[in-house]
Structure 1
């Protein structure tokens, strides 16, 4: 992997950073959180910039970029603490492009340029990444319940893991229909999530095969790992700035050796995670990712981020616990991302299973 950003990625980074600095203040984030819905105006602006379809082939109306290119945008979205459906739409759209039939891809993916949003729906009552799938698809209709569906109350399309008889697959379901009922689920990250009940909901298409479900699962875990790292990095940046300006005993607290040691420890693990998550997105683009590698990176970031966030609050002292101070956005978002698409414990269990399977092969 070439760690140097491409020309496109440099342009994306600059334009996205400028956009969010201009358009998204933390006061606006507070308003979006209170509404518990994504900001349609902001999403429309991002769609006009081509970001909603960045990682989709030009054959289907996309920008011809990669998942790694989209990671540049996700970084800036996380640094702004913006609740945006762009990441979940990326997971759903890339899964459809890789496994959907030509008719589905040609009809659905061009709608991304009009602001279409997609919510992957995987988890059920077990709340397990690889738990049993009980949702049923038969005769063009879907029945079942999904939990922790990101932007489940507002997205246009749900991509739902289900069973057709004994065969797993993904049902493409429009949210705005009588057979779909979404109920808000409040989480620590204050990102809109929902428990969604499908009662004979009409499905536009069926994508056959466990491979499609596994692709959605791996993409979701990889993107969540990437977001987890991004929130830790932003919290660390805020903390480094703070300890350089907070004066105690006549000097900035960053001058004290223990503060420097704690900051250096955080920087080391965050920087290590940066390489891991970028490599993982590159592997996904190249088709080189494995179940073990995805789970390992998710486990590392899910373990690292809560510890870093805890130390960030420790170095901030009392001000870090005030809602008027912006650190809490990244603490809550980071802890939420660490749990989404596989917690540290669950993903390490997957890594262990894969290791034993390889040893006995």
Structure 2
């Protein structure tokens, strides 16, 4: 079994690593946590010029024509660097959904603009129930002539404050089942939308978005009326494996930081890395990192090839969520008190690991899906 990346994929990784090293230093990450927007236009423009926004879009829409596997490589490097900004919301959640389920008119209108870095999107899915199941969607969408009127509240909407368009799930038919859910493209500047920023553990940009009598034309429906849940499931799956890619990037960086610290930190006249207990801790971390990489890239490859992979995605998300927590706990043990200070970089990864653990379903949620896939 050949697990090596192609020359083109290695080149993508190198370019991404070099770009992050030059443009996403930890000083920048810390500054963007406090910045109102959360990213710089200069860095965003640089990413667009490298073709990252359109990496997975066909050339006819201004993209590079690559697959999700290559996108996972890029996301891993972003996770390694703690790259802030609306890339994940715009490309993974928004653009890829339109590529798969949008009309030709929607693709031509949105994808080239995303590829050029001129358009940003946000997914408005979760509500106060905080679930990733159909019964958690209660926002109403009432038919009114040639448009729908949306009313309801969405929570934990990443990058809502900078989005040009929302990809919004609402009920066009009352109930709690999969039937009756429709996906809409909503202009973020529409009257009746109110955005309130939330304080989060990762200091990322999440918001509460309230829709009050927001009018959406019928042409802005993604997919079919009342049949939006299968599309949402695909969004959750892409989001879950995308987060896994970010997590393995962060986990690899934490492992390297911890190994270097254990070599530099001297106690009792010798580096703490020479002690067997510390060595075993580092070995456990390395085992978790490599296991997370293999299970993530297997699922990413299957998704890229169009193979059925719902179970593999859930396996990856469940494993990576737990593994990253173990890696962070062990890293803090080896670093000792210095690792708990805000001046140290370790806390940047710890906080993002906790946020990623919950994104698109925690480990228990995905274990339930795995069990269901095994007909249990």
Taking structure 2 as the reference length, the TM-score comes to 0.90
For 1:147 and 1:44, how far apart are their aligned partners in 2? 28
Q: 2:123 matched to which residue of 1?
A: 120
8 Å Cα contact 2:73/2:245 also seen in 1: no
Q: 2:108 matched to which residue of 1?
A: 106
For 2:346 and 2:184, how far apart are their aligned partners in 1? 39
Q: Go from structure 1 to structure 2 and tell me whether the alpha carbon gap of 1:143 and 1:290 turns closer, same or farther (over 3 Å shift).
A: farther
8 Å Cα contact 2:77/2:246 also seen in 1: no
> What 5-or-longer segments of structure 2 have no aligned partner?
174-178
| Within-5 A mapping of 1:288-307 | 288-307=307-326
3-state SS of 1:13 partner: helix
8 Å Cα contact 2:55/2:64 also seen in 1: yes
For 1:283 and 1:232, how far apart are their aligned partners in 2? 22
Q: 1:229 matched to which residue of 2?
A: 248
8 Å Cα contact 1:118/1:156 also seen in 2: yes
Distance apart, 1:187 and its partner CA = 1.5
3-state SS of 2:338 partner: helix
For 1:228 and 1:175, how far apart are their aligned partners in 2? 30
Matched, 1:183 2:196: yes
| Within-5 A mapping of 1:266-281 | 266-281=285-300
Matched, 1:164 2:172: yes
Q: Go from structure 1 to structure 2 and tell me whether the alpha carbon gap of 1:304 and 1:96 turns closer, same or farther (over 3 Å shift).
A: same
> What 5-or-longer segments of structure 1 have no aligned partner?
none
3-state SS of 1:153 partner: helix
Distance apart, 1:316 and its partner CA = 0.2
Instruction: Give the aligned length.
Output: 357
3-state SS of 1:178 partner: coil
For 1:109 and 1:2, how far apart are their aligned partners in 2? 34
Deviations 1:290-336 (A, max 9, x none): 33322221111111111110110100011101111111111111111
3-state SS of 1:199 partner: strand
Taking structure 1 as the reference length, the TM-score comes to 0.94
Distance apart, 1:107 and its partner CA = 1.0
8 Å Cα contact 2:68/2:301 also seen in 1: yes
For 1:3 and 1:118, how far apart are their aligned partners in 2? 34
Matched, 1:200 2:213: yes
3-state SS of 1:4 partner: coil
Give the ranges of 4+ consecutive aligned residues of structure 1 lying more than 6 Å apart after TM superposition. Answer: none
Superposition CA RMSD, Å: 1.7
Distance apart, 1:225 and its partner CA = 2.1
For 1:174 and 1:248, how far apart are their aligned partners in 2? 59
Q: 1:134 matched to which residue of 2?
A: 138
3-state SS of 1:184 partner: strand
Q: 1:60 matched to which residue of 2?
A: 61
